[in-house]
Amino acid sequence: MSNKIVLTKGLDIPVSGEAELRITKTVAPDMVAVCPADFKGFIPRLLVKEGDSVLCGSPVLADKKRPEILAASPVSGTVKEVVRGEKRKLLAVVIASDGRNEALDLGVKSPEGMDPEQIKACILESGLWPFVIQRPYGIIANPADKPKAIFISAFDTAPLAASPEFTLGDRMADIQAGINALARLTDGGVHIGLNAANCSGTPFHRLDNVNIHVFEGRHPAGNVGVQISHVCPVTKGTVIWTVSLPGLAAIGARFNKGRYDVARKVAVAGPAVMEPAYVLTYPGAPMSTLASFFGNEDDLRIVSGNILSGTNAGKDGYLGFYDNSVTVLREGTEEELFGWLNPIRSKVYSQDRTAFSWLFSGRKYDMDTNLHGGPRAFVMSDGYYGKVLPMDIFPLYLIKACLAGDIDKMEKFGIYEVIPEDLALCEYIDPSKNNIQEIIADGIRLMLKEME
Amino acid sequence: MKKFWIATKDAFATFLHVPGTVTLKGAHVRDGVDLKRIMIIVVIALVPAALFGMWNVGYQHQLATGGGTAANILPNWWWGFLKVLPLYIVAYAVGLFIEFFSSGLRGEEVNEGYLVTGFLIPLIVPVTTPLWMLALAVAFAVIFGKEVFGGTGMNIWNPALLTRAFLFFSYPSAMSGSQVWVAKRASESFADGFTGATPLALDGAAQYSNTVWSQFLGTIPGSVGETSVIAILLGACLLLWTGVASWKVMCGSVLGALLVGWLGDIAGISAVPCWNQLIIGGFAFGTVFMATDPVTSAQTETGKWIYGFIIGALCITVRLFNPGYAEGMMLAILFGNTAAPLIDHCVVTSRINRRAKKLNPAK
């Protein structure tokens, strides 16, 4: 029941520092943070105050508009600090861990006998609902909706991404339970995307109760948005839900074990990491707990997530709620003499044929954060960006519609189908160095505002 | 004035080195390519045509004044170089000044697009163009063709062609006819029997050794850079191999020209066979370097075929049917530029509608 979809467009960025498939460290952080900024479409209301004691799974934040959506503490301990920024904006709830990891007992449940409302209530009260993301817009799903289908991508093609087989291969029972639960929330079934390179070898192809789709191609073939656009494109009025694999395992664990368990293996990778490998840790763990990987060097950028669409957490930041990789790069503040003219630049990669990187295929580059140029107006045509976007949309038209804030055109050119990460490669290859992901995010914000 | 100074300083600094700025938003790493690199490829692709054009200016001068041979490669080139150099100086000085000034006004970095435009302009005008006319035309094209729209990337028409169009309509006597294509000193006079006309004006009739081979090689009168198909093809190879220019536009243009030329052949109204149209006049130069400008050409991949086809077909149509204009390439491309958004609109709309129908068959 699988069908193979070949995507010819895309690009695998050859960045060095891939994580070795072993756990070098189990990080038991003495504090973790729950950051509302991780959750898209979530207006936080604080449920705890400083000094309160919490367990794993105790609700910490609720959404102001849909109070049934909760965010929970990943560890047990006491609320140490509520960090606020300008205009008292809530930035983080810092929880000091007591190291015991006592969990709120949510009760072991079997999704088979439950009706959809009970399943939703189970996920909502456990604080795991933020793992359920809706398309369009890539925001936390509305529990009142009934999605057309639910999509899961079982592989990640982003540069230096964590291997799902390694990080979650030992949690197949939880993943299966998660699928069984989610399958009852939709009539369209749960769809899972596998990589053609290992579709028969991966444990994920043995999952039941799912529709399997096999994708062959370079990044962004592993993006769930790309997979949806080839199987069940999002149009106006339809809602599709997506869940990441770590989220699925956490939802499954809630049913199988009756507890909130978001501990996960995280790949620590990138050119500035000394021995790239995996750690076992929690979302919200401070980046300082990973300091042994990148030492005390100045001028480092610590990214929670991948190099294309992760967030710049900084040394004092925290691992994002959805991220299972941390990428460390050097800041590229060096000037490159005659970089635009020099025919062969041994240290700089370019996918463009005007550079000669294609002569050294297979080579990995120690990439840094240099912009490699200055910001310009868009000059290259739509097809230049289209070659890294395997979706049936015109990327430049969509970007320009977002820039113009023209709702009708954004709708027409496919704003419902994309989230910023889908156009991250367009941003990467753009010779005009525009911040395309930000443009798309602004477009989505405008849509949300107008559609209210 | 301070803004202008900052923009200028910044332009020269980034000319020397890729700046040490880092990504602040979005993707944390970026590709090594930037617009400077893409633009410089176009300039490099133009170098063979420019070098040959300079030599040809000297060679045509020798032929016209009745002395010398093609064998005097360096002296011919040097003579032509001295004739073409002032055109370059004027084109760059006027254009870059306006470009720097308006970038300063907008508070943006100076766009390298004018490096290409300024390199193109001397190659598409007759070598005898008076410098003050050129300066005026460049100023017009850069200000009203580009800066008022918001600079490189926002313009509708190719600024280099707009320069030529301005000259063509404002000073027709300096831009066409038989006297403008060959440079000479004031004291010199043309040899007996000299006409100085391009093959187009003569409908392909013989002028010196005006064979197919000389048309292909480029040893004929014409605008500075447009005569040698060999030099243009060298540039085309580089542009296509690096992917800077669209092969779809080039193929579309050649197909369009061949089709209309062939129809002309059948109807018996063309003086030269359709394939010969491709190697005379500005067709080759326009197809390779002007029509493929990514800003003013069609944006969509399907649109590029249509856009190229329209340019090729229109160029030959003008050559065949319009007695007033010997050459149609300039206006064909400017028309193509004008039509490009419409072509794209049709391509995009039809694909979106087709997709919508596929997704909602009921409606």
pLDDT at A137 over 70: yes
> How much of chain A exceeds pLDDT 90, in percent?
72
Contacts with B154 from chain A: Cβ below 8 Å: 377
The model's pTM: 0.90
Q: Which helix (H) or strand (E) holds B16?
A: helix B2-16
List the one residue out of A295, A282, A286 whose CA is nearest residue A314: A286
Look at A370 and A357; give whichever has higher pLDDT.
Answer: A370
Give the span between the Cα atoms of A77 and A285, in whole angstroms.
14
CB contact under 8 A, A382 and B301: yes
Query: Strand locations in chain B, DSSP E?
Result: 17-18
Cα B26 to the center of its chain, rounded Å: 36
CB contact under 8 A, B352 and A413: yes
Contacts with A384 from chain B: Cβ below 8 Å: 294
Is A199 buried (19+), middle (13-18) or exposed (0-12) by CB count in 10 A?
buried
CB contact under 8 A, B31 and A332: no
Contacts with B33 from chain A: Cβ below 8 Å: 350-352, 354-355, 372-373, 429, 431
CB contact under 8 A, B28 and A380: no
Mean pLDDT of A397-406: 94
Question: DSSP for A222-274?
Answer: TSHHHHHHHHS---TT--EEE--HHHHHHHHHHHHHSS----EEEEEESTT-S
CB contact under 8 A, B27 and A307: yes
CB contact under 8 A, A340 and B244: no
> How much of chain A exceeds pLDDT 70, in percent?
99
CB contact under 8 A, B301 and A350: no
The structure tokens 């081979």 sit at B213
Q: How many CB atoms lie within 10 A of CB A291?
A: 12
Say which residues have a Cβ less than 8 Å from residue B53's Cβ, sequence separation at least 6.
Answer: B80, B84, B123, B224, B225, B226, B227, B228, B231
Residues A268 and A328 sit within 8 Å (Cβ to Cβ): yes
Q: Is B113 on the interface with A (CB under 8 A)?
A: yes
User: What pLDDT shows up at residue B213?
Assistant: 81
Residues A10 and A388 sit within 8 Å (Cβ to Cβ): yes
Distances (CA, A) of A406 to A399, B16, B317, B324, B355: 11, 39, 39, 45, 21
Give the span between the Cα atoms of B319 and A417, in whole angstroms.
48
Q: Where are the alpha helices (DSSP H) in B171-226?
A: 172-175, 212-217
Give the span between the Cα atoms of A391 and A228, in whole angstroms.
10
User: What pLDDT shows up at residue B177?
Assistant: 67
Residues of chain B scoring pLDDT < 70: 1-3, 66-71, 177-179, 183-210, 323-324, 326, 361-363
User: What pLDDT shows up at residue A314?
Assistant: 87
Contacts with B113 from chain A: Cβ below 8 Å: 379
Contacts with A337 from chain B: Cβ below 8 Å: 16-17
Express each pLDDT in A293-342 by its tens digit: 887 788 899 999 999 999 999 888 999 999 999 999 998 888 777 777 77
Find the residue in B nearest to A13 (Cα): B31
Express each pLDDT in A57-88 by its tens digit: 999 999 999 999 999 999 999 999 999 999 99
User: What pLDDT shows up at residue B198?
Assistant: 65
Express each pLDDT in A422-444 by its tens digit: 999 999 999 999 999 999 999 99
* B 177-216 residues with CB < 8 A to A: none
Asked if omega into A147 is within 30° of 0 (cis), the reply is no
User: What pLDDT shows up at residue B205?
Assistant: 43
- Paired tokens of A341: 């003219």
Nearest to A348 among B21, B32, B356 (CB): B32
The structure tokens 């063309």 sit at B270
Strand order in the sheet with A77-84: A31-34, A90-97, A77-84, A53-54
Residues A327 and A306 sit within 8 Å (Cβ to Cβ): yes
Conformational region of residue B33, where left means phi above 0, alpha means psi within -120 to 50, and beta covers everything else: beta
User: What pLDDT shows up at residue B206?
Assistant: 40
pLDDT tier at A112 (50, 70, 90 boundaries)? Answer: confident
Distances (CA, A) of A163 to A266, A269, A277, B66: 9, 12, 11, 77
* B 27-66 residues with CB < 8 A to A: 27-38, 40-41
Question: How close, in Å, is residue A371 to chain B by CA atoms?
Answer: 5
In this complex, how many residue pairs, one in chain A and one in chain B, have their CB atoms less than 8 Å apart? Answer: 203
Q: Is B295 on the interface with A (CB under 8 A)?
A: yes
Residues A127 and A72 sit within 8 Å (Cβ to Cβ): yes
Per mean pLDDT, which range of A130-144, A171-185, A369-383, A423-437 is the poorest? A369-383
Give the span between the Cα atoms of A55 and A41, in whole angstroms.
26
User: What pLDDT shows up at residue A75?
Assistant: 93
Q: Give the best residue of A354, A360, A399, A438 to mutate against chain B (max B CB count within 10 A).
A: A354
CB contact under 8 A, B299 and A310: no
List the one residue out of A36, A31, A88, A27 whose CA is nearest residue A60: A36
User: What pLDDT shows up at residue B251?
Assistant: 95
Q: What angle do CA B114, B116, B120 make, to 5 degrees?
A: 110
* B 329-348 residues with CB < 8 A to A: 348
Give the span between the Cα atoms of B296 and B294, in whole angstroms.
6
User: What pLDDT shows up at residue A352?
Assistant: 84
Distances (CA, A) of A174 to A69, A181, A250, A418, B22: 22, 11, 7, 29, 41
CB contact under 8 A, B31 and A435: no
pLDDT at A120 over 70: yes
